[in-house]
Amino acid sequence: MHIVTTSLTALSIGLAAPAASASLPQESQSAATAQAPALSPERRALALDAVDLYWPEGEAEYVVNYMLDDFATMMLDTPIKTLARDFGMTELIQAFGVLAPIAAEEAGEASEELPTTEQMEAGAEFMLAMFGDKTLRGILKGEDEHFDERFDIVRDVLKSELPPVFDKSEPKMRAVLAELFAEKFTDSELRELAAFADTAAGQKFVHTNWTASFEPTFYRAVFAGLPDFVEGMPGLVETLEARTAHLPPMFPEPEIEACEEGEEDCAAHEDTPEHLEEMAEELEAEAAELRARAAEMRTEAAGSGE
């Protein structure tokens, strides 16, 4: 059950990527696939224009600047207790209240000994109250009086040194994306994407698409959705197990052949009392040899006056 649950979680992430292409109209998919083998310079240029809606030139630098300016300022100068609540402390505790008993049950532990959601929330609020109105910047400056200067230097270096790296890597990435877009979209669809990318709303969408995952509301939404996801998994797993019951196990238990008398290699894998005692004797012999070598080294060191 645990393996199936873990596998499903990984599959849910992996299956999210093809979902976009799967949602395309059938005629669009077939038309795009038909045009994929012959990618003309004109179609490549059209696809690159459409790629602007996903990753325009300079987007990597934009994201880095956002992280170093707006996001860093928010993280450093917002009171810690506010950050904790904004980034989903309550939602995370509630999710833990659902997940922890399930994990305890799988581990064979008593879930009754776990703290309740109310107890965890009270403990978290007590800890946050100890911070008062302190910010992360204030705490770091208390540890390092040169923190502001140090951070400004790091920010300036990153802003000056990273763009040349992006200038080399972005064109290669955009070229690959153009091939992908040309495979998935028709000419008319590429023109629609490119037209939207050229608007103010399109550019705003691009930037938001890449920075939304840093927003506090995004974290709260993720944490809030965890209990529903986990609570729905047992039924899904049961359905999968019922539907695949006629199939052999994906990872069958290895078959261990019986040892013939006199087969040393086979006997070495048997956990018999005799075998374990033999291993213990070998280890004791090795330990005695190591102790003897250590004693010799001490004697040599004493004789040389070290």
- Rg, Å, the chain Cα set: 30
pLDDT on residue 263: 55
From CA 20, how far away is CA 16, in angstroms rounded?
8
Asked if the model's pLDDT at residue 181 lies above 50, the reply is yes
Decide which of 193 and 258 is more confident: 193
List of residues 6+ apart from 4 with CB closer than 8 A: 237, 240, 241
Percent of the chain with pLDDT over 90: 45
The H-assigned helical ranges of 132-272 are: 136-143, 147-184, 187-197, 200-211, 216-243, 264-267
Q: How far is CA 23 from CA 9, 250, 298, in A?
A: 21, 30, 74
Q: How many C-alpha atoms does 170 have within 13 Å on its Cβ side?
A: 18
Percent of the chain with pLDDT over 70: 81
Q: How far is CA 133 from CA 52, 73, 75, 91, 219, in A?
A: 42, 16, 14, 22, 22
pLDDT on residue 258: 57
pLDDT on residue 186: 95
pLDDT on residue 51: 95
Mind listing the pLDDT tens digit for each residue in 13-46?
343 343 444 444 444 444 444 444 557 889 999 9
Q: How far is CA 265 from CA 221, 260, 274, in A?
A: 56, 10, 15
pLDDT band at 261 (very low <50, low <70, confident <90, very high): low
3-class DSSP state for residue 135? strand
Helical axes 59-66 vs 200-211, angle rounded to 10°:
60
Cut 0.75: pTM above it: no
- Name the least confident of 134-143, 157-166, 230-239: 230-239
pLDDT on residue 34: 45
Q: Which helix (H) or strand (E) holds 42?
A: helix 41-51
Asked if the model's pLDDT at residue 6 lies above 60, the reply is no
Could you write out the DSSP letters of every residue in 15-33?
TTTTHHHHTS-HHHHHHHH
pLDDT on residue 266: 56
Does residue 183 contact residue 49 with C-beta atoms inside 8 Å? no
Asked if the model's pLDDT at residue 3 lies above 80, the reply is no
Closest CA to 66 of 143, 185, 158: 158
165 token code pair:
């790296």
Q: How many C-alpha atoms does 84 have within 13 Å on its Cβ side?
A: 19
Return the domain boundaries, the chain: 2-6+25-243, 270-303
pLDDT, mean of residues 246-265: 68
pLDDT on residue 108: 75
